[in-house]
Structure 1
Amino acid sequence: MRILHLYKTHLPDTYGGVPQFIGQLAQGVARHGHAVDVLFPSRQSLRTSSFDNYTIHPVPLHLELASTSISLSVFKKFAELANFADVIHYHFPWPLMDVVHLTAGASKPSVVTYHSDVVRQRVAFLFYRPLMRRFLDSVDRIVATSPNYRATSQTLQRYESKTCAIPIGLDQSTYPEPSVDTLDKWRARVGNRFFLFIGGLRYYKGLHILLEAVNGTDIPVVIAGGGPVERQLQRQAKRHGLLNVKLLGELPEEDKVALLTLCFAVVFPSHLRSEAFGITLLEGAMYGKPMISAEIGTGTTFINIDRQTGLVVPPSDADALRKAMILLSTHPLMARRMGQNARLRYEKLFKADTMVQRYLDLYEEVLSERGARRKTPQGMGPVTF
């Protein structure tokens, strides 16, 4: 098979959750002997190249508007690559992608991974909804990244008959092994009893709630990542004199893994449905760490099971978050047991090999259904097996 992925960004331009997921899936599918292409707008290199045993096709990014990447070049390149693809794999939401799909008239089997509802742009969504529905109506399958999100998304309820849930998976072997020197460097700087957040610093991550929760305490918190609210968080930490909070900015992958190795627990205070899954939580589980997250009706509570793999608190509740952090800190044996349970849950549900095989089965399924429909004489019903 040849699989074509389309999304608004990708590695190495950005290392957010969706690009990480696409990369993990692309690598896994390629290891099974299939060809994988990833098409995306880019501000950096525009050279088609091999990347982790699959092929990336960056095209010029001309404009960004309301979190939407605009590229006129993507239309021509998509038509070119789709001609050779067996299955086209879209990643929602990205309104330009809907237009590309509908105007290209691509007749290939299509799968959409539904990463998130449109949450913040409520007014714009009223205008976008007709286009979105035409796009989702036209694809063969929709994949939610957790059963929780599938059950709570109003949009997905409209497409229940063709929607399934395939949880995101990670391959730990693709993560760098931190050197002794790197571990020693971070151990000297932050210790090994800290709560860790890694990820983009965005409005829905709830980090302002985390800073409010640890205000007036000596609970150590390390925040690694950059993004639009970074300066706002720095001002909040300075205003309240939060010497127990370290904002580290963007870090290389080896340093992130060192922090995951050293930390006491992972804290993930996202408070809005824009946080559809939570790759950082999954990384915490992979490294056997107890977790704290908020109940927002998404995949975060599919990864983190309250009182089993960690603690789940109400969203936007700084007091509850503070109490959860204190509870873990003062009960290290309980925290260790939760971390062990988190690792077991990762091994059972969230390994990359499991995710890859389920997507390969889905690709084969849509290919088979399309073939069956093409072979059905006009006027007859669909062939069943």
Structure 2
Amino acid sequence: MEIEEAHLLFRPMRLLLVADSLDVGGAERHVVELTSGLVRQGHSVTLACSVQGALTPLAEQAGVQVQPLLGRLVKRRLSLRYAWQLARLIRRDRFDLVHAHLFASALASAYATLGTDTPLVITEHSQATWRSRSACRYSQWSYSQAKHIIAVSREIKWRLVEQDGIPYDRVSVIMNAVSPAPDRSKTRAPGLPDVPQESPLVGVVTRLQPEKGVVYFLEAAASILRHLPQVHFLIIGNGPLGRTLRMYVGQLGIQEHVHFLGFRLDARALVGSLDVLVVPSLSEGTPLVTLEAMAAGVPVVASAVGGIPEQIRHEGEGLLVPPGNAQALGEAILRLLHHPTLMQRLGQAGQQRAAAQFRLETMVQQTEDIYRATLGWPTSIAIESEALDGPLTEKGR
């Protein structure tokens, strides 16, 4: 390697990451983990958002400079004011590269980098099934302005190539990842409902919106309670369907066994107290909560949608069911609760797979190498020798 190439390989980058907000959500937590990891690698990282949120202190404690640009949330829409504020920030601080996450921030970043020599990278976190025809056109335009696009699953890459028309070699797959879980305590985490210690806990950790499928979780819970009346169900998270779901619990007559915990900063610790984690989504990327459960040795029952089958193999690390099927969901949960040995085997296998395949350090390194390749800088030895047949030019779905 030439001296100049070696200098570029180890040169710290000035990076601007952009997300709609720092409210708690899977994509937002991914951004905070990524920015924190990039700071640990010696890079100068600014995280711009339309508004701050509960995750702001975690980013700032890691040394990330958080820059809120507006006084209200911009989400799933075009905001020219957001784009203008981003453009001012980019001109002022002269970043090496901009990396945008989520629809509104990707669109604003595409406008903000127009006419500049600052390259844009976009990460697509979901199948974006919510998009209208006009939103699809906006997305496709923002993708066209990006030098490179990262998909968090092969299914999302397929959508970007087949539906959005992005050239295959401009999309890389970098799966979500998590840091190792703390040791799983035999005692339950504080702040849980006062239920008997021997009562199994089955939970979801999600935003309460239609595509997360929580209604099917509740229907499955009603079915399970007819067979195992000692089980309790936790719903961790908030969202627009919160009131509707509470009313539905009353209609099902299971209010004594379903506990709405709302937003919790200690959600990961609560996951470690569950006997089974359920991901009943109708649409997904590669949810972080699945990996957090795997890292903690908690068996998972999940819908076979999006990137979930790339995280969990059916009968290997968890059980997969068709989306929107409360009966199948309930039967899979009951199967685990009736067979503790199976629960233990799947939990241990998930823990091993999380440690081997979904390491946070690997995700950060792969993202760094995307940045360097986009800038025309040399990448790490691992990327040069292996991953040029991996995330940058991955073959197959």
1:336-358 CA-to-partner distances (Å, cap 9, x unmatched) read: 11011111111111111010010
1:186 aligns with 2:196: no
Alpha-carbon distance, 1:189 to partner: 3.4
Change in Cα spacing, 1:34 to 1:344, as seen in structure 2 (3 Å) is same
Change in Cα spacing, 1:295 to 1:309, as seen in structure 2 (3 Å) is same
1:350 aligns with 2:362: no
1:251 alignment partner in structure 2:
264
Alpha-carbon distance, 1:362 to partner: 1.1
Question: What secondary structure sits across from 1:316 in the alignment?
Answer: coil
1:149 alignment partner in structure 2:
156
Change in Cα spacing, 1:183 to 1:100, as seen in structure 2 (3 Å) is closer
1:118-133 matches, within 5 Å, as 118-122=128-132, 126-133=133-140
Sequence identity of aligned pairs in percent? 22
1:365 aligns with 2:376: no
1:266 aligns with 2:267: no
Change in Cα spacing, 1:195 to 1:89, as seen in structure 2 (3 Å) is same
1:54 aligns with 2:64: yes
Counterpart code for 1:186: L
Alpha-carbon distance, 1:179 to partner: 9.4
Alpha-carbon distance, 1:193 to partner: 1.9
1:62-117 CA-to-partner distances (Å, cap 9, x unmatched) read: 4657x4374725523443335421111011322x6424423542321221111123
For structure 1, the residue ranges without an aligned partner over 5 or more in a row are: 371-385
1:224 alignment partner in structure 2:
236
**Maintained 8 Å contact 1:211/1:237:** yes
State the alpha-carbon separation in 2 of the partners of residues 20 and 240 from structure 1: 33
Counterpart code for 1:205: K
**Maintained 8 Å contact 1:41/1:74:** no
**Maintained 8 Å contact 2:124/2:151:** yes
State the alpha-carbon separation in 2 of the partners of residues 137 and 338 from structure 1: 42
Count of residues paired in the alignment: 354
**Maintained 8 Å contact 1:292/1:312:** yes
TM-score (norm 2): 0.81
Alignment RMSD (CA, Å): 2.8
2:383 alignment partner in structure 1:
none
Question: What secondary structure sits across from 1:232 in the alignment?
Answer: helix
State the alpha-carbon separation in 2 of the partners of residues 132 and 202 from structure 1: 22
1:339 alignment partner in structure 2:
347
Alpha-carbon distance, 1:134 to partner: 2.5
Question: What secondary structure sits across from 1:37 in the alignment?
Answer: strand
**Maintained 8 Å contact 1:215/1:240:** yes
**Maintained 8 Å contact 2:203/2:278:** yes
**Maintained 8 Å contact 1:6/1:91:** yes
**Maintained 8 Å contact 1:146/1:277:** yes
Change in Cα spacing, 1:179 to 1:41, as seen in structure 2 (3 Å) is farther
Q: 1:76 aligns with which of 72, 85, 95?
A: 85
2:28 alignment partner in structure 1:
19
State the alpha-carbon separation in 1 of the partners of residues 159 and 74 from structure 2: 29
1:14-63 CA-to-partner distances (Å, cap 9, x unmatched) read: 11111100010001111011111111111679x99944211110122346
**Maintained 8 Å contact 2:188/2:273:** no
For structure 2, the residue ranges without an aligned partner over 5 or more in a row are: 1-12, 379-397
Change in Cα spacing, 1:161 to 1:181, as seen in structure 2 (3 Å) is closer
